[in-house]
Amino acid sequence: MLIIVETTINELLFQRRYEMIYTVTLNPALDKTVEIPSLTVDAVNRITSMRTDPGGKGINVSKVIAKLGGKSIATGILGGDTGRAILSALNDLELKTSFHFVEGETRTNMKIIDPVQHTNTDINEPGVTVSEEILNELLEELLEKLTAKDIVVISGSMPKGSPQDTYYTWTKACREKGAKVILDADGDLLKAALKASPYLIKPNNHELSALVGRTLTTPEELAKTAKKIMDQYIISKIVVSMGGDGALYVTESGILYAEGLKVPVGSTVGAGDSVVASLAVAEEAGMSLADTVCLSTATGAANVMCSGTQAAEYSVIQELLPKVVFHQIEI
């Protein structure tokens, strides 16, 4: 059992080995989070509280990076009044952006939290339709800026009209520029992109199970499977999130299992994105595996405590750092 002193992480966060972190959100959303006690199907339900946040996985990553003191440029596709509302909200948060506007309307996603039945229900719109030509234009814009000293976070779902190998294409192109690619996707998008050898992937335990076609339950089973995928596709790191049960960190230098922190739940939406953000910042700062585990575990838990998809304050993350517990896994 290991616990890392938080001052070590605080000092490391000011170190920068990379010039910029780019986050890619090809299917953003305006996230509307509502609270409905005792949600009932086929009945009138009344909202007791509501908040709206700019969302989409990559955008969520950028919001958390900022709270961790890092710098990022959020890129992606926006459309219509909803897209302009998202861009305005990101400007209010003083985040750097480089979005490509297209015809159509960016989606609005409804997140329904029932505090009585302890459920979270997502209702997601499909979003805009894009062509392969538009995707290629956006990729070229990114590649013009990209250097070997950058990190690219590619995450989330794809808009309608996108080829299934889009993330493979983007990962391969960014790697050819020398950048490190952190990929957070699932299903066919993940399966195709693995062939481009991203630097790090972050599936959850269900997504990893689906990838290999069998149910994986224990940390040891997950670790063995992740290690095989690393070797097969030449991936440097795999982080497997396990919800409230914690997360597994598989690298060439070692395998660590972090226990989940017990915190009051505000919203689980965006918790995985906050972990991805902390992984990017940890990579940028050159943190050890142990420090990376502590930072990402505390960051994920802190964001679970927030309502909507707002990013947790670093002061909350600091309070959780000393509570992180993890173990080495042998396979």
327 burial via Cβ count (<10 Å: 0-12, 13-18, 19+): middle
Q: What is the pLDDT of residue 5?
A: 43
State the CATH number of the domain containing residue 198.
3.40.1190.20
- Per-residue pLDDT at 199: 98
Instruction: Report yes or no on 130 lying in a domain.
Output: yes
311 CB-contact burial (10 Å; exposed 0-12 / middle 13-18 / buried 19+): buried
Residue 255 lies inside a defined structural domain of this protein: yes
Which residues are marked as active site? 273
pLDDT for the residue numbered 103: 93
> d(Cα 217, Cα 143) in Å, to the nearest integer?
39
DSSP H stretches of helix in the chain: 6-12, 57-67, 80-92, 132-145, 166-176, 187-193, 205-212, 219-233, 271-285, 289-304, 314-320
Q: Which residues contact 63 (CB under 8 A, 6 or more apart)?
A: 54, 93, 95, 277, 309, 310, 311
Order the strands of the 107-114 sheet from edge to edge. 49-55, 29-35, 107-114, 119-123
Domains identified in the chain, total number: 1
Is 133 within the bounds of a domain? yes
What's the domain range around 154?
6-40+48-328
Residue 251 domain flag: yes
Concatenated DSSP letters for 134-176? HHHHHHHHHHHH--TTEEEEEES---BT--TTHHHHHHHHHHH
| The pLDDT value given to residue 121 | 92
Please tell me whether residue 303 adopts helix, strand or coil conformation: helix
| pLDDT one digit per residue (tens) for the chain, 331 residues | 344 444 466 666 766 676 899 999 999 999 999 999 999 999 999 999 999 999 999 999 999 999 999 999 999 999 999 999 999 999 999 999 999 999 999 999 999 999 999 898 999 998 899 999 999 999 999 999 999 999 999 999 999 999 999 999 999 999 999 999 999 999 999 999 999 999 999 999 999 999 999 999 999 999 999 999 999 999 999 999 998 899 999 999 899 999 999 998 887 778 899 999 999 999 999 999 999 999 999 999 999 998 778 898 999 999 999 999 999 998 8
Q: Is beta strand 96-102 parallel, antiparallel or unpaired with respect to 180-184?
A: unpaired
- Grouping H, G, I as helix, E, B as strand and the rest as coil, residue 4 is coil
For residue 325, CA distances in Å to 13, 28, 106, 282 come to 20, 34, 40, 18
Tokens found for residue 28:
């953003």
pLDDT of residue 3: 41
Q: How far apart are CA 139 and CA 326, in angstroms?
A: 38
Distance in angstroms (rounded) separating the CA atoms of residues 126 and 107: 6
Contact between 257 and 248 (Cβ < 8 Å) = yes
The answer to whether residue 162 sits within a structural domain is yes
Residue 316 near residue 4, CB atoms below 8 Å: no
- Counting DSSP H helices and E strands in the chain, the numbers are 11, 14
Classify residue 223: in a domain, yes or no: yes
Q: Does the residue 280 lie in any domain?
A: yes
b vs e for 98-131, b when ≥16 Cβ sit within 10 Å of the residue's Cβ? ebbebebebbbbbbbbbeeeeeeeeeeeebbebe
- The residues, ordered by sequence, that sit 6+ positions from 89 with a Cβ below 8 Å of its Cβ are 53, 54
CA distance 54 to 56: 7
Residues in a beta bridge with 250: 238, 255
